[in-house]
Amino acid sequence: MRHVIGLDLGGTKTAGAVVDGEGRIVSSSTVATPAQAGSDAVLAAAAGLVASLRADALDTGVAVDALGIGAAGVIDSRRGAVVSATDAIRGWGGTELTAELTRRTGLPATAINDVHAHALGECWLGAGTGVPSVLFIGMGTGVGGSYVLNGECVEGASFTAGHVGHFASPFAYEAGAFENGLPCSCGGAGHVEAVASGPGIFALYSRLGGVGAEDTRGVYRLAAAGHPIAAEALRRGATAAGSAIGGLANILDPHVVVVGGGLAFAGELWWDAMEQAARRELLRPLTGLPVVPAQLGETAAIRGAARRALTLNPVSEGQHV
């Protein structure tokens, strides 16, 4: 059976695993991403992780023959290059990701945006298995998404498709200082991510006068305990998320919506408000649309990246790299 390495390369950490042809994780490891040290340092850390995983695999008689990468940023999956990126990783835009990691590791490589990789993992082995069309939404520090049609991500003409956090939301406008829209991480204003992301919920909690929580997890704990300001911030964020999800479902008409990311597993307070808002938006033919939580957790993007490596880097029977 073939084995490949899947990487989930983000601004905080780079997680990797040796994955077999059926999606089982043989071994895994994680390193911190030296994001502010620049792209060369990030690539060096990723290559070091790959080398370590590959060596450990060889010690057990397992030969790895390809590398799949799910990475932050807008990724041109044909060239394996970072088209553009935020400053979460300094100098990341323009990085020739697959060429550089192939040069440093000796492994043929493929790359795709990390949220697309997450969606592919869920479609291979998780909540979207065997489903012809899946709308995946990732709710966490940011808001991202992917539409997977017959096992392939719809990436768009410029590989920007899936940035679902960056369209207008009526919930991202407030009287007074933000009547023209809450500022968004992309540089725009009034977008879904500005109110529905984890940082957006925490910022709203603070604007409403909330004290006692240091982050979004703290807001959720207070909301679960009945704190009215925390509960209101969480409800607004979840409602904004659900409204956006319902609207996207009306446009794309998927067979199922899979919701992942940290907020999706915050508990029923967030989930119930999100799903109720989504269902209020749905057109009548979509009233029975399943909206379900993701199943693979933090391994989804690794498995999705590995799946692409297995598919796009075929090897002949008995060949080893």
CATH number for the domain including 187?
3.30.420.40
237 and 109, same domain (yes or no): no
**pLDDT value at position 50?**
98
Query: Is 254 part of a structural domain of the chain?
Result: yes
First to last CA, the chain: 13
Answer for the pair 76, 85: CB distance below 8 angstroms, yes or no. no
**pLDDT value at position 144?**
96
Q: How many domains does the chain have?
A: 2
Query: Is 318 part of a structural domain of the chain?
Result: no
Domain of residue 78: give its range. 3-119+299-312
Q: Can you give the pLDDT of all 321 residues of the chain as single tens digits? A: 999 999 999 999 999 999 999 999 999 999 999 999 999 999 999 999 999 999 999 999 999 999 999 999 999 999 999 999 988 899 999 999 999 999 999 999 999 999 999 999 999 999 999 999 999 999 999 999 999 999 999 999 999 999 999 999 999 999 888 999 999 999 999 999 999 999 999 999 999 999 999 999 999 999 999 999 999 999 999 999 999 999 999 999 999 999 999 999 988 999 999 999 999 999 999 999 999 999 999 999 999 999 999 998 776 444 443
8 and 103, same domain (yes or no): yes
* Whole-angstrom distance, CA of residue 299 vs CA of residue 32: 16
261 and 151, same domain (yes or no): yes
Query: Is 56 part of a structural domain of the chain?
Result: yes
Q: How many CA atoms lie within 13 A of 91 on its CB side?
A: 11
Answer for the pair 62, 3: CB distance below 8 angstroms, yes or no. yes
Q: Which residues contact 89 (CB under 8 A, 6 or more apart)?
A: 11, 33, 35, 39, 42, 72, 73
